[in-house]
Amino acid sequence: MGCLKKMTALVFTSVKFLVLFILGVKRKEGSMKQENRNKTKPRKEVSEMIEVARIYKVEKEESTLKAFVDIKVADAVLIKGIRVLAKKEGGLFAAMPSQANDGKYYQTVKFLTPEANEELQKVVLAAYEA
């Protein structure tokens, strides 16, 4: 069991590194593009970088879990295990993959900007409702 936890932690660390690396490359490209606007294509917006790859809806009505979603970020990273959950006060939200440690849950993948998180919510919930 300990080996499985270590492997899982390694996979999640690798995903975090890849997402940060890709976003860092995009940021560097963005700063270069500002210097050379006429020479290069414009940078992709966040809305163009997040795409739903797969959605699996859960059919239990009494469950707060409504679906599992996999997304592609910048056509380079696949994030699996995003959950669509029902809020107690009504409505839905997308929860990023997480791990339990000491009775608390910690996100294993996290978008660094509020704009990217809002876009994730919009894209995932639109795909769920479609």
pLDDT in tens, 35-51: 554 444 454 555 678 88
Is residue 3 over pLDDT 70? Answer: no
State the burial class of residue 73 (Cβ atoms within 10 Å of its Cβ: 0-12, 13-18, 19+): buried
pLDDT per position as a tens digit, 93-123:
999 998 988 999 888 888 888 888 899 899 9
Q: Which two tokens stand for residue 130?
A: 């479609």
Reading the block at residue 89, the tokens are 């006060």
Find residue 78's DSSP bridge partners.
72
Token pair of 108 as six digits = 């294993």
**pTM exceeds 0.75, yes or no:** no
Locate all alpha helices (DSSP H) within 36-80, ordered by sequence.
Answer: 46-49
CATH 3.30.1340.30 holds for 2-129 = no
- State residue 125's pLDDT score: 92
